[in-house]
Structure formats: C-alpha cells, structure tokens
Structure 1
Amino acid sequence: MDRRAERTERADAQRNREAVLAAADALFAASSSPHSVSMDDIAAAAGVGKGTLFRRFGDRAGLIAAVIASRLEPLRQRVQEVQEATGSAPRQRVLDLLDTSLTFKIENRNLMAAAEDAGLSSPYRAQHYGWWHETLRAALDRVPGVHDPDFTAHALLAALRADLVAHLIDEGKMSPEDLRSSLAAHVDNVLGGSSHPDRT
C-alpha cells in the first residue's frame, strides 16, 4: 500500500470513529433508557457496518467507554480551572468540583448509566473514576478537619452514582437545581462546620 492510500485509509478510519462516537452519544442522550440503545442502532446511525464497531471498540462496553472519554475531555479543562481558581477557599473548591461532576452526570445520565449497566468492571476501576477521586482527594486534603481525605472522596462520589442521579431525576422527578442544592447541603454535613480557617 502506498503512502497516499495509507493516509486515505487512516483518514477514513478517523472519520468513521468520530461518526460512531457522535451517533452513540446522540442516541444515548435521546434514549429513555440505556438498555434501548443497541450496537445495531449505533451502526445504522453512524452509517457503518456493525463489524466496524466491534473491530474499533471491542464490544458495547468499549464503545461506551470511548464515548465517555470523548465527553470528559472538555470537562477536564473546566475542572482544571476550578483547581486553579484564585481566591477560592478549599471547601468551596470541593463543592465546585462535586457540582461540576454532578452537572456532568445529570447531562449524561443515560450514557453514564449505560456504562454501569454494560459491566465495565467495577465503577471504581474505571479510568474516569480514578481521575475524579484523585482530584477530589487532593482538594479535600486542604480542608481542615477532614480525617481521611481518601475515604471521604469515595463517600462523596458515591452520592453521584449515575444510576442514583437518573433515579432521582427521571423517577423521583427531582429538578437538577434541587439535586444540586441537596448535594451542597450534603457536602456541608460531611465536612462539618466551617468555623476553622482554611489551610493555605
């Protein structure tokens, strides 16, 4: 194969990958249940053969993981901005990080629920969970009175499981604003009173 043909093949493969990710993202966002989106649906929406999906992503779980990774990329930038915010007290940074995570879960609850449902091993082994936990743990480490930042980060993230978020909004009819407010109150309860000065 000459270089021109190889470049064309790589470009086609990249376009197919982007089309598949975009189609899967749109279908999960529009679905009433993550169970209702099949690999056949995604292949048809992307205009590729079903075999292409399995060759590129391995299985349904691999495809969902790739979609999540693509959605998380811009979020990482926003989280970095929260971490670098000047004049933001450590407690507020913790709340901002959790609020950012919750907002992402609300907006992508079908996709995240599909990830949990697809058997992507334990959710605690997922790459994005490890990143969230370490980011939150580092923020908690600067909050006075937090005995065990590592465990506290796990406990706070447990309140943001995708299946819980989907249940509260879709079945419990809780508004996103009320859910965010309840999370803020929960964080305040977990961290205790804010009378101690924040660490610098």
Structure 2
Amino acid sequence: MRRERTDAARNRAKILAAAEGIVAARGVEGLSMAEVAAAAGVGVGTLYRRFGDRSGLAYALIDAREREFQAAFIEGPPPLGPGAEPVARARAFLGALTDRTAEQLDLLLMAETAAPLARFGGAYDAYHAHLALLIGQARPEADAFCLADALLAPLAAPLLAHRLGTGGVTVARVKAALDRLLAGFVIEG
C-alpha cells in the first residue's frame, strides 16, 4: 500500500474538517465543493481529484468517523472495547452506535438510501457480527444472529431521522429503549 504524502494527508484533514463543519451547520444539502475548498484553503480541483464529487466527499466523511468508531469497539477501552462483560459491552456498543448515527444522520441517510440494500454490507456486517458475538457470549442458546438484526433495526438512518424529526423522540429515549430490548433478549429471555 502506498503511503500518503504528508502535505496530501494534511490537506485531506483540512478538507474533511471543513466539510464536517459545513454539514454540521447546514446539513448535507449545504455541502458544496466550492465552499469546502474555500474553507479548507485548497483549490476546487484538489477536491475533485481527491473525492470525485460531492457524494465522494460525503462518503469520506462517513468513512473517517466509521474508522474511529470501529477502532473504539474493537480495541478501545472497556466497556465499549474488550475487557467488559458481554452485556455491558453490548449496551455500550448500542449507545455509542446511536450517538454515531445521530452525529452523521444526514450523511448516513443519504448513504443508506442510495440503493435498496445500501445499508447492508461493510459497516453493518461488522456491527452485526460484533453484536451477535456479544449476545452469543451472554446467552449461548439465543438466536444471536436474528437478535442482532432486531437490535440494529431501530438505528437505520431513515427510521432514526423520521423518529428524531417527529413525535418528540430523542437520542436518550432511543438508547433507553435499546437498553430495554437488550435486557429482554439477554437477561430476561
């Protein structure tokens, strides 16, 4: 694998920080290549060469955050990372995933609705495998495979965007409901 030049890495970090700021202020609809380039202090051509287009830039934002999140639950400190008991890890994972989804909801909504099965694959498969493993450790007799899907379903970006945008549902309420579901699956089940 070829190593990224130092100046290219610095530009990438500046571009992603500028894009994150714009998305935080105005949502994904406000993401303009020209504005990101200006905010990052790079040329528009640099942006297009590196990311291709606006959706490529959006996916880069998702990817950067996703790598941080996966590192946290794979090798970070407990309870999210290794070292805590399975139910505590699953609870920490679901809470952190709820926060992670809410933080980039506009971007994830765009990504998850790009195609009929766009939500599934890479990151979802990693989440599912992790959660199924933890459920299986806590309750070996449980159908951990299907229970993991049931626990991940409320965190689909279209559903979460709908619920957070209407009806007074909050991130805290979603986390509390996921805690209750998890308890029912692994403690009371």
Q: Normalising by structure 2, what TM-score?
A: 0.79
**Equivalent residues in 2 for 1:1-200, closer than 5 Å:** 10-31=5-26, 33-79=27-73, 80=75, 81=77, 82-86=80-84, 88=85, 90-117=86-113, 122-125=118-121, 127-144=122-139, 147-189=142-184, 191=185, 194-195=187-188
2:174 & 2:144 partners in 1: Cα distance?
A: 24
2:114 & 2:35 partners in 1: Cα distance?
A: 16
Residue 22 (structure 1) shift: 0.8
Residue 121 (structure 1) shift: 6.6
Deviation by residue 1:73-107 (Cα, 9 ceiling, x = unmatched): 33234323324234x2x333222211111111122
Q: Greater Rg, structure 1 or structure 2? A: 1
| Structure number with higher relative contact order (C-alpha < 8 Å, ≥ 6 residues apart) | 1
1:123 & 1:59 partners in 2: Cα distance?
A: 21
Deviation by residue 1:3-59 (Cα, 9 ceiling, x = unmatched): xxxxxx93332222111111111111222x423323333233223333322211233
| Number of equivalenced pairs | 182
Structure 2: gaps of 5 or more residues: none
Q: Contact (CA 8 Å) 1:140, 1:146: kept in 2 or not? A: no
Structure 1: gaps of 5 or more residues: 1-8
Residue 123 (structure 1) shift: 1.6
1:120 & 1:54 partners in 2: Cα distance?
A: 27
Q: Contact (CA 8 Å) 1:27, 1:42: kept in 2 or not? A: yes
Deviation by residue 1:102-128 (Cα, 9 ceiling, x = unmatched): 111122223322333555971212x32
Secondary structure of the 1:84 match is coil
Q: Normalising by structure 1, what TM-score?
A: 0.75
Secondary structure of the 2:5 match is helix
Q: Contact (CA 8 Å) 2:102, 2:171: kept in 1 or not? A: yes
Q: Contact (CA 8 Å) 1:113, 1:162: kept in 2 or not? A: yes
Letter in 2 for 1:84: P
| Distance verdict in 2 for CA 1:47–1:163, change over 3 Å | farther
Q: Contact (CA 8 Å) 1:60, 1:118: kept in 2 or not? A: no
Q: Contact (CA 8 Å) 2:23, 2:31: kept in 1 or not? A: yes
Secondary structure of the 1:130 match is helix
Letter in 2 for 1:36: G
Secondary structure of the 1:104 match is helix
- Superposition RMSD in Å: 2.8
% identical equivalent positions: 33
1:183 & 1:159 partners in 2: Cα distance?
A: 8
| Distance verdict in 2 for CA 1:11–1:119, change over 3 Å | farther
1:19 & 1:117 partners in 2: Cα distance?
A: 28
